[in-house]
Amino acid sequence: MIRLPLLLVVASLTASQSRADTRYEYNRDIRPILAENCFACHGADSAARKADLRLDRREDAIASGAIVPGKPSESPLVERLDLADPVKRMPPERSHKKLKPEQKAVLKAWVAQGAEYQPHWSFISAKRPPLPAVKRADWVCNPIDRFILAGIESAGLEPAPEADRRTLARRAALDVTGLAANPKWVDEFVNDPSPNAYDKYLDKLFASPSWGEHRGRYWLDVARYADTHGIHFDNYREMWSYRDWVIGAFNKNMPFDQFTIEQLAGDLLPNATLEQRVATGFNRCNITTNEGGAISEEYLVLYTRDRTETASQVFMGLTTGCAVCHDHKFDPISTKDFYAMAAFFNNTTQGAMDGNIQNTPPVIPVPSKGDESAMEQLQGKITKAKLAVENRKNVSRGEFEIWQAKATPATISGTVSPNGLALSAALTEGKGDKAKFVIAGKDVDIPLTGAAWVAGRDATKALKLNGSTATVPDAGDFDFNQAFSCAAWIKPPVNAGFGPIVARMEKQPDYRGWDFWMQDRRMGMHLINKWPSAGLKVVASAQLPANAWTHVTVTYDGSAKASGVKVYYNGQEQPVTVENDSLAGTTRTKVPLRLGQRDAGEPLANTPVQDLRVYKRKLSLNEAESLGNKLDGILAKAPDKRTADEKTQLFNWYLGSRDQTYGELKAGLVALEKEEIALRGRGTIAHIMQEKPGDAMAHVLERGEYDRRKDQMKASTPQSLPPMAKNAPRNRLGFAQWLLAAEHPLTARVTVNRFWQEVFGTGIVRTSGDFGITGEQPSHPELLDWVAIEFRENNWDVKKLFRLMLTSATYRQSARATSVKIDKDPSNRLLSRGPRFRLDAEVIRDQALSASGLLVAKIGGPSVKPYQPDGVWEAVAMIGSNTRDYRRDKGENLYRRSMYTFWKRSAPPASMEVLNAPNRETCTVRRERTNTPLQALVTLNDPQFVEAARVLASQVLADKALANDSDRLNALARRVLARDFRADELVILSESLADLRRRYAADPADAEKLSSVGDHPVQGALDRKELASFTMMANLMLNLDEVLNK
Amino acid sequence: MHPETEMGLNLTRRRFFGQGAHPLGYAALASLLGGRASAANSIDGGGVTPHFPAKCKNIIYLHMVGGPPQMDLYDYKPKMKDFYDKDLPDSIRKGQRLTTMTSGQARFPIAPSKFKFKQHGQSGMWVSELLPYTASMADDMCFVRSMNTEAINHEPAITYIQTGNQVTGRPCLGSWVSYGLGALNHNLPTFVVMVAKPSNTEQVQAISGRLWQSGYLPGEHAGVSFRTSGDPILYLNNPPGVTSSTRRASLDGLRRLNELTARDIGDPETVTRISQFEMAYRMQASVPELTDLTTEPESTLRMYGDAAKQPGTFANTALVARRLVERGVRFVQVYHNNWDTHANVAGRLPDQCRDVDQPCWALIQDLKRKGLFDSTMVVWGGEFGRTIYSQGGVSQQNYGRDHHPRCFTLWMAGGGIKPGTVYGETDDFSYNITKDPMHIRDLHATMLQCLGYDHSRFTVRYQGLDQRLTGVEHANVIKQVLA
């Protein structure tokens, strides 16, 4: 027989107590009482356990004597509930727990019946249940309805009548595409006399690419997708290729098992395709940091934890977060289980620091559509060119040996002309508070602030910069149209942060001036008139090695263009990233030149420096090479005294400066690499997972703290779930395959439950992210199992599952509630009426855009920045964050679907956040759904909605086929509600319209103002008073309860 | 945050203004439908009944983002004069972990504060010359010199002091207060956040909306950010060309249509929505009134200083904070940034202090004058302290200080707090606590105590556990600071 839905069980519990024949079930009746009152001290958590007593396992409870099956009067579990002695009574007073009399009676009866335990329901593999018997078999459209109807009937209710076609058409459009119903399709459906009219309508919806966007949008919450890193600077992360992959996967109707495997382990599949690697971005969506003082190990632990918790929650509905610190009090996931599972996600090459860059490794290039084959060819050419360069090295070796045997310092002296040397300093003094500078040819002693002398190159000393270390008043006064160059030897620490080696630059707000700049061990340059509107910023793409000496040169040709800046490491020209290319106007400033800091702010931390040079001209490649290889010391030695390393340095210099063939080959390679960069610039990148060599491992961490390592764990799945296949790889791929095994009790249930929640507003298990013991029981357990098995046996076909739900009689019911239903089924858990709940933030906006015709149908691509009130980002962002200034887009980017709106984690899209969109810091499987005045203000006043209302109004006003106001109002209704207004509604609307017309006739200036909200042009011919009046009517309509709800 | 908000599961009808209100939806719908009110109307629940009489009704929390250097402001260390540029003894550092900003430093040269200190009031509290106004009211205040935390970087440290946990996702202090005490004024939020703009912006740290989130508490208890430029609340103003009376007329039409829907469909949410649109309309009047300082007498504005008239300054937000508690807002969180003095303490600290010193004084005088001081607790402090040793070089003129979690100074005043108190002591290096430590968990427990809550019993069920602000580790109510 069918089990009663939970809430009915609860309601009937008291009544059933008197009946001796009630058979109590552990999962349904007993465990909730024990979990609430006993398990905190007598459960799985060995650390919190009192009196060495466990009540969560039958054998322990019996062995300890707490339970004597069949004999409640001899069982302390029952007896101690009512003791007068407060010391012995359970639960103890300090726990603030108290059992109700009926709960005590249930426990007593259960012990009397033999105290049988059951494993937790969700840990028992699903079996396909028989369909329950129902009275109104004629109502049933598919098996879902049998389960639902049985519940409705046992509550003494009737299902609701079928919704009218227009209501149904709108509901289905919102569920399949997330957009307003297409009026033409609705009319075709309404007027279609064929018996499969609804199926035909659904066919059109399911074929629309909006399906993939809409389903993908839910998945982005699950995957915690966003466009920034999240912590501290919260800089841009170029992540959207993963979003495109998600949309494409749904549109291809990729089976959910494949969808799971590719995201968790696409990189580990044999011959993984580019697409499969892009899919692994799922595990790269976690928040990351680059905060200056952060300790790497601490953050690596947090990242692994996040990936483990996300996978547990999304695929298994398990909240494993507690097991990080202690054995989970209720769920059978131990701390060891957690860390063994974490090992799967710990074995990645991703570093702790995101570098504040948009392409934190490991990443791969993703060519834009159409460039794929060009990219492939180019990469072939580059491989060949690299080989040619290497071969030339071998050939050249012999000539070099002859040259170097004769070479002395004189051989290469004069390579770098002292011409234009504006400033130089050896910075090798090694002691004292002064350093010798040569400024415009004159020796000057410059005082140092907090000088720290550290070991330099070749047994010399070096000056360690740490904030403003020296101030030189009259040097480096360059304007934007003057060429200049900077060079130095530096040894950046691992976490060098941001800051200049040398700068002549004002503080905010303008930052006028220039600097020789390092960020995250990447060298570059700023030239600024006013930041960020008139400035230039170029930074090398590659990081300098940490804690090693590198010679760096940056040259600028005075062109005011980013292309005029070149960066060299050890004399090798570097590929660069252009972060700003808008320089115009003077860069001259009165502030002095400083070492280690701008005039204020941006101190460079802990970076030793030597041989600083600033030239008033652009150094050539050859000069950069020569500077970068201070070879004099080596050349001064006799050839046979030179070490292998020194010879390598000489050889590199020789190749670059003396071997013409090598130079040509190298130039060819650089040109190809530049071409590749340009091609990549047209495309994007993907953040991917990349496995480290060796077995996946993780340490158990005491209390979850990164520096308290305990046992090392091999990757393994939780003990209480079915084991992994013996031959399965012990990595993410094996883990993903294990999740999808037929006997896995959780994955299919959890997945269909989440899809059910999307359609019906609430999952069959309401706690859709918690199928553990602390979660709720399913309202319809057999239905959940039936749908889960149906889904799995139908090859995890997502569209088929949605069609099953949408064609059920359950779904097609009218949402109308009677007072009896409100009484007996207040939150519609029985589905005694159709689903009706407030639309998600994105759908509310997309509905307005699609109904007004503003929506741009383009699929995928980079994120966009539509209307947002000023200051939302600026209020929270750090100065220097590249997502501090919200510069809104123009044109079509204002009207893209909401899933493409740029998601900054520390300030999510303002209007959507008000409507309960999550901040995407961690995985969210279920959004809150509130009803607040702040939300009313969004839909009433946000320019996006006001503009949509205006455009909606202008389209109706411009339609000559509409004869009168009623026609026009109905035309609005059809676009937004897929129906005409009823007579009683038209009375109210006509009154409102007349009132608005009076007002705007009296104040044409107001009419003009309202008509100009938003960028979209107004059709010139429309009367502004009429347009304003209808704009307000459309605004009213977009705020109707019926419009905000499904 | 973690998505399973068990206690919130029923609350599909959440309202912004909290839980003190009657559950309008069902009752009103029942009357619309001509039926009786449903028993389900207890769904919204109420606040949490205090465990003992409250000494304080409101809190204004002034958070100094970045971590002020305690030894330059409140933790007077005269002996350090003799240690200028000497290395911090290992016996003091005791192998403590450092941020990676200074862990590579070859030496840790001590930088004595270059600012002069004097004793003030009956308590004899030593206060730096940078804070003359604050010093003048030493006897109204309780200084805690022994605050401590485990976090050493900004993100985890701010998250810790705001939510009781270093990892993001838990409800913050303001959300707990909103959840417990509920609303006094149904036209305003219970928990308001303001981010003040510092006059100096050398080293501004990140502040994120996650800091005022409600975590596993219902969403209505998240802080509502009052913006310091543009509309104080997002989308508060009608579009251009829509007057208040036009909006009123249009809302009347909307209401009548929604009432038809409520009758036809019978969804209680519809009735709640009608009332929320009405509330939105009322807010359009009440919020601008609140932030309009032209109604304040010139004498009050003068008290807060010239900056008070400039929206977004700390002085301005302090005055708005008073107006908020005056109107019944429970918790006002103000952030003031740029205290992260890794470098240039000498140049920057005077600017920082000038921003906050006089307005803090004015706020307390103002609260007293309005009779609100006894029921309002004001708290001032950062997320951690700073090191006695200099980051980078030290000179007699200038120095920088890195993050320091082991001790920092915070002050409290007003409702429930014992005036003229100095609590806790540190060693000569302001490095380790030598007497009466106060962990941030203790601070939370003590603040809740003033509001009438036993922190160990002020819990909410989430993931099967009774969660609380002070977490699973031990926390003490510090009785010595209570009035």
* Angle subtended at Cα A209 by Cα A203 and Cα A213, rounded to the nearest 5 degrees: 120
A469, A815, A1007 ranked by CB distance to B241: nearest: A1007
* Angle subtended at Cα A319 by Cα A313 and Cα A325, rounded to the nearest 5 degrees: 130
Contacts of A1008 in chain B (CB under 8 A): 241
- Give the SS3 label for residue A835: coil
Is pLDDT above 50 for A719? yes
Contacts of A772 in chain B (CB under 8 A): 464
Amino acid at B34: G
Dig out the tokens for A471 from the structure.
């101030």
**What does the H/E/C string look like for A902-932?**
CCCCCCCCHHHHHCCCCCCCCCCCCCCCCCC
> Are the Cβ atoms of B398 and A449 closer than 8 angstroms?
yes
User: How many other C-beta atoms can be found within 10 angstroms of the C-beta atom of residue A412?
Assistant: 19
Residue B396 vs residues A561, B73, B110, B349, B390: alpha-carbon distances, Å: 43, 17, 11, 15, 11
State the burial class of residue A418 (Cβ atoms within 10 Å of its Cβ: 0-12, 13-18, 19+).
exposed
My answer on whether omega of the bond before A91 falls inside 30° of 0, hence cis, is yes
Length of chain B, please?
483
Contacts of B33 in chain A (CB under 8 A): 819
User: Would you call B29 an interface residue with chain A, using a CB distance cutoff of 8 Å?
Assistant: yes
Query: Domain span at residue A76?
Result: 6-118
How many angstroms separate the CA of residue A25 from the nearest CA in chain B? 20
Dig out the tokens for A426 from the structure.
């050896």
- List Cβ neighbours of A456 (8 Å cut-off, separation of 6 or more): A428, A462, A608, A610
Domain membership flag for residue A505: yes
* Angle subtended at Cα B190 by Cα B184 and Cα B191, rounded to the nearest 5 degrees: 150
User: Would you call B167 an interface residue with chain A, using a CB distance cutoff of 8 Å?
Assistant: yes
Chain B segment 393-422 residues within 8 A of A by beta carbon are: 393-395, 398-400, 402-403
Q: Which of A618, A648, A665 is the last residue of a domain?
A: A618
Contacts of A321 in chain B (CB under 8 A): 2, 463
pLDDT at residue A415 in the model: 65
The helix (run of H) or strand (run of E) holding residue A513 is strand A513-519
Smallest CA-to-CA distance from A169 within A181, A157, A158 is with: A181
Q: Are A121 and A27 in contact (CB under 8 A)?
A: yes
> Are the Cβ atoms of A774 and B457 closer than 8 angstroms?
no
Contacts of B5 in chain A (CB under 8 A): 928
Q: Tell me which of B100, B244, B286, B351 to substitute to probe the interface with A (most A C-beta atoms closer than 10 Å).
A: B100
> Are the Cβ atoms of B280 and A507 closer than 8 angstroms?
no
Domain membership flag for residue A833: no
Is pLDDT above 90 for A879? no
Q: Per-residue pLDDT averaged across A14-42, rounded?
A: 75
A605, A924, A999 ranked by CB distance to B3: nearest: A924
Question: For residue B341, what is the nearest residue in chain A, using CA coordinates?
Answer: A601
pLDDT at residue A13 in the model: 41
The helix (run of H) or strand (run of E) holding residue B467 is strand B465-468
Scanning the structure block, which residue is given the tokens 């203004």? Answer: B17
State the DSSP string of B150-176: S--SHHHHHHHHHHSSSSTTSPPHHHH
> Are the Cβ atoms of B342 and A467 closer than 8 angstroms?
yes
pLDDT at residue A19 in the model: 46
Contacts of A995 in chain B (CB under 8 A): 249, 253
Domain membership flag for residue A78: yes
How many angstroms separate the CA of residue A337 from the nearest CA in chain B? 18
Smallest CA-to-CA distance from A698 within A708, A711, A688, A686 is with: A711
Where residue A495 falls among pLDDT bands split at 50, 70, 90? confident
Amino acid at A311: A
A910, A1040, A1045 ranked by CB distance to B257: nearest: A1040
Q: Which of A118, A142, A167 is the last residue of a domain?
A: A118
Smallest CA-to-CA distance from A687 within A259, A283, A163, A125 is with: A283
Contacts of B256 in chain A (CB under 8 A): 988
- The CATH number that applies at residue A489 is 2.60.120.200
Buried b / exposed e across B112-138, counting CB within 10 Å, b at 16+? Answer: bbebebeebbebebbbbebbebbbebb
- List Cβ neighbours of B352 (8 Å cut-off, separation of 6 or more): B64, B68, B198, B200, B336, B338, B339
The 10s digit of each residue's pLDDT in B371-402 is 999 999 999 999 999 999 998 778 888 899 99
Domain membership flag for residue A66: yes
Is pLDDT above 80 for A417? no
Assessment of whether the complete model's pTM goes beyond 0.90: no
Contacts of B99 in chain A (CB under 8 A): 292-295
My answer on whether omega of the bond before A362 falls inside 30° of 0, hence cis, is yes
Where residue B466 falls among pLDDT bands split at 50, 70, 90? confident
Number of domains chain A contains = 3
Q: Are A502 and A516 in contact (CB under 8 A)?
A: yes
Q: Which of A95, A118, A141 is the last residue of a domain?
A: A118
pLDDT at residue B41 in the model: 25
Q: Are B390 and B109 in contact (CB under 8 A)?
A: yes
pLDDT at residue A775 in the model: 81
Q: What is the DSSP letter of B108?
A: -
The 10s digit of each residue's pLDDT in B177-209 is 999 998 888 788 899 999 999 998 888 888 888
The helix (run of H) or strand (run of E) holding residue B64 is strand B58-64
The 10s digit of each residue's pLDDT in A1020-1037 is 789 999 999 999 999 999
Is pLDDT above 70 for A576? yes
Q: Per-residue pLDDT averaged across B25-53, rounded?
A: 51
pLDDT at residue A214 in the model: 98
- Give the SS3 label for residue B424: coil
Where residue A953 falls among pLDDT bands split at 50, 70, 90? very high
Q: What is the DSSP letter of A451?
A: -
Q: Quote the CA–CA distance of A236 and B224 in Å, as a whole number.
A: 26
Q: Are A511 and A505 in contact (CB under 8 A)?
A: yes
Q: What is the DSSP letter of B196?
A: E
Q: What percent of chain B has pLDDT over 70?
A: 90
Supply φ then ψ for residue A117, to 5 degrees: -95, 165
Q: Tell me which of A491, A774, A928 to substitute to probe the interface with B (most B C-beta atoms closer than 10 Å).
A: A928
Contacts of B195 in chain A (CB under 8 A): 875-876
Cα four-point dihedral sign A905, B214, A284, A800: negative
First to last CA, chain B: 37
Of A572-581, A852-861, B263-272, B362-371, the range with the lowest mean pLDDT is A572-581
- Give the SS3 label for residue B193: strand
B235, B252, B258 ranked by CB distance to A937: nearest: B235
Is pLDDT above 50 for B44? no
- List Cβ neighbours of A412 (8 Å cut-off, separation of 6 or more): A626, A631, A635, A653, A657
pLDDT at residue A234 in the model: 93
Dig out the tokens for A520 from the structure.
């995250």
Q: Per-residue pLDDT averaged across B443-464, rounded?
A: 91
Question: For residue B398, what is the nearest residue in chain A, using CA coordinates?
Answer: A449
State the DSSP string of A713-759: EES---TTSPPPPTTS-SSHHHHHHHHTSTT-SSHHHHHHHHHHHHH
> What's the CATH code, domain B54-243+283-481?
3.40.720
- Give the SS3 label for residue A553: strand
How many angstroms separate the CA of residue B266 from the nearest CA in chain A? 5
User: Would you call B350 an interface residue with chain A, using a CB distance cutoff of 8 Å?
Assistant: no
B16, B229, B249 ranked by CB distance to A932: nearest: B16
Q: Quote the CA–CA distance of B312 and B194 in Å, as a whole number.
A: 8
The 10s digit of each residue's pLDDT in A112-135 is 999 999 888 999 999 999 999 999
pLDDT at residue B174 in the model: 96
Contacts of A871 in chain B (CB under 8 A): 227-230
Is pLDDT above 50 for B226? yes
> Are the Cβ atoms of B101 and A322 closer than 8 angstroms?
no
Q: Are A874 and B225 in contact (CB under 8 A)?
A: no
pLDDT at residue A658 in the model: 82
Amino acid at A380: G
My answer on whether omega of the bond before A332 falls inside 30° of 0, hence cis, is no
Q: Are B297 and B366 in contact (CB under 8 A)?
A: no
Where residue A543 falls among pLDDT bands split at 50, 70, 90? confident
Domain membership flag for residue A289: no
How many angstroms separate the CA of residue A94 from the nearest CA in chain B? 10
First to last CA, chain A: 34
Q: What is the DSSP letter of A266?
A: G
Q: Are B173 and B160 in contact (CB under 8 A)?
A: no
User: Would you call B349 an interface residue with chain A, using a CB distance cutoff of 8 Å?
Assistant: no
How many angstroms separate the CA of residue B276 from the nearest CA in chain A? 5
Domain limits, chain B: 54-243+283-481
Beta bridge partners of B426: B433
My answer on whether omega of the bond before B268 falls inside 30° of 0, hence cis, is no
Conformation bin of residue A52: beta by default, left when phi > 0, alpha when psi is -120 to 50: left
Helix axes B244-265, B268-291, angle to 10 degrees: 160
pLDDT at residue A657 in the model: 76
Contacts of B2 in chain A (CB under 8 A): 313, 319, 321, 769, 922
Buried b / exposed e across A782-816, counting CB within 10 Å, b at 16+? Answer: bbbbbbbbbbbeeebbbbebbbbbbbbbbbbbbbb
pLDDT at residue B24 in the model: 46
B100, B169, B265 ranked by CB distance to A817: nearest: B265
The helix (run of H) or strand (run of E) holding residue A434 is strand A434-439
- Give the SS3 label for residue B409: strand
Distance between alpha carbon A1007 and the CA centroid of its chain, in Å?
Answer: 42
> Are the Cβ atoms of A818 and B266 closer than 8 angstroms?
yes
Dig out the tokens for A200 from the structure.
């035909």
User: How many other C-beta atoms can be found within 10 angstroms of the C-beta atom of residue B42?
Assistant: 11
